[in-house]
Amino acid sequence: MSSPRIALVTPMLPVAHDQTRGRYIYETARALSRLTEVRTWFIQPRYPRLPGLAPRSFLHDDIGPDYRIEGLDVEAFSYPAIPGLSRLLNGVVASRLLTPRVRRFAPDLVLAYWVYPDGHAALRTARNLGVPCIVGARGSDIHVRSGINAVMTRRTIAGVDALLTVSKAMRVAAIDQFNASADRTHTISNGFNTDIFRPLDRAAMREKLGIKPETELVIYVGRLVESKGMRELIEAHGRLVRRKPNLRLALIGDGVMREQLGTLISASGLDASVILPGGCEPAQVAEWIGAADLLTLPSWSEGYPNVVVEAIACGRPVVATDVGGTREIIDATNGILIPARNVDALEQAIDEALERSWDRDAIAAAMRRTWDDVGRETLAVCEQVVSERRQVERHDSASSTDPSRRSGGQSRPQS
């Protein structure tokens, strides 16, 4: 069987105002595109430009049809939505606009990343076209679901031909909480870009970024939102810097909480010890990791946090909350796990990690998984699903043309 033509659907790719958003989906799509023919549809909700109707969990800006990104054959479009109010219909509306676009591509399979509403839209489109559908869950689309989102997530999972999860913990959650079929749920964890995320000379990176040699540098990389543990991190840092005057915290990223964080930092008297570089491209993120003593990720929930993988690939230890698939990445040799929403534990773990002597070369050497590995494993599931669908279609076709089957097992004698 030749490799299937894949229509890939996602609401998350790197954009000008958020270079880190959907980076793992982008890398997966790019790896798949090196193995088979893939066309990507980047679908976005289009919200009314009215006060109070902007999304609260991520920075949003309309993405035009001229959107382009290296390594992908991509088409971007938006569908009308109202935060909260249109939640039940978002998948239906998105599918109506998606279906004619995907039909022209004539795929063998539709692959969507993000369960609802985008995976639901992809599922409806796949059914309209008579092709199988696979949906990949990434994190909060499984771990943080309630109300109508939970109902529609369960409905989407029930209809797909296969579900992909980025961690074993997420696979268990999908099966236990959303009745996903164990036989049709596959774990494919993220990789990392080995050309970018690798051990870098700490002194050289510090000189480039203007960080003094004596500084103890802790970094966070990700969206600046409350659920990433921003308040806990600022409070823990404030306690630590009182006894560690050379301590600095760099918050790399952007998000809806940026302005609020600036106010909190100033009110806490931490302007001199907290650095806000903004959103950075992967190569810049690698430089910050290379300059750091450790990375911290105090999230309330996670799927399989790629920044943790990238930090370890660079030889840096990690302090992170024990949520989602983080436990599958961190062990005693490369970091410290703590409970979520616990400032005391975060403070103590950062302090301990800064004092501990880590084998940075061994940390980096243990992380080898690449995006090409992810691409191969994803394609293998796609090929399996397409093969199973074709076998069913051949069986159904044979049944419909076999006279003995049409007549209940006995063919009538000719008169």
Mean pLDDT on 251-260: 91
Mean of pLDDT over the chain: 91
* Cβ proximity of 112 and 136 under 8 Å: yes
Structural domains of the chain, count: 2
- Is the predicted pLDDT of residue 84 greater than 80, yes or no? no
One domain, residues 255 and 278: yes
Higher local confidence (pLDDT), 208 or 64 = 208
More confident residue, 412 or 330: 330
Do 37 and 120 belong to one domain?
yes
On whether residue 282 sits in a domain, the answer given is yes
For the stretch 18-69, pLDDT in tens is: 777 889 999 999 999 999 999 999 999 987 765 555 555 555 567 888 899 9
Note the pLDDT of residue 380.
97
On whether both 171 and 206 belong to a single domain, the answer is: no
- Give the model confidence (pLDDT) of 88-106 as tens digits: 899 999 999 999 999 999 9
| Segment among 1-15, 346-360, 401-415 with least mean pLDDT | 401-415
Any domain includes 252: yes
Condensed to tens digits (0 to 9), the pLDDT of residues 281-331 reads 999 999 999 999 999 999 999 989 999 999 999 999 999 999 989 999 999
Look up the pTM and report it: 0.85
Same domain, 388 and 330: no
Which residues on neighbouring strands pair with residue 5, listed in sequence order?
none
pLDDT in tens, 225-245: 999 999 999 999 999 999 999
Domain interval for residue 361: 202-365
- For 106-134, the pLDDT digits (tens) are 999 999 999 999 999 999 999 999 999 99
Residue 413 has pLDDT above 50, yes or no: no
pLDDT of residue 256: 87
CATH of the domain at 307: 3.40.50.2000
The pLDDT value given to residue 47: 79
Domain annotation covers residue 214: yes
Do 241 and 215 belong to one domain? yes
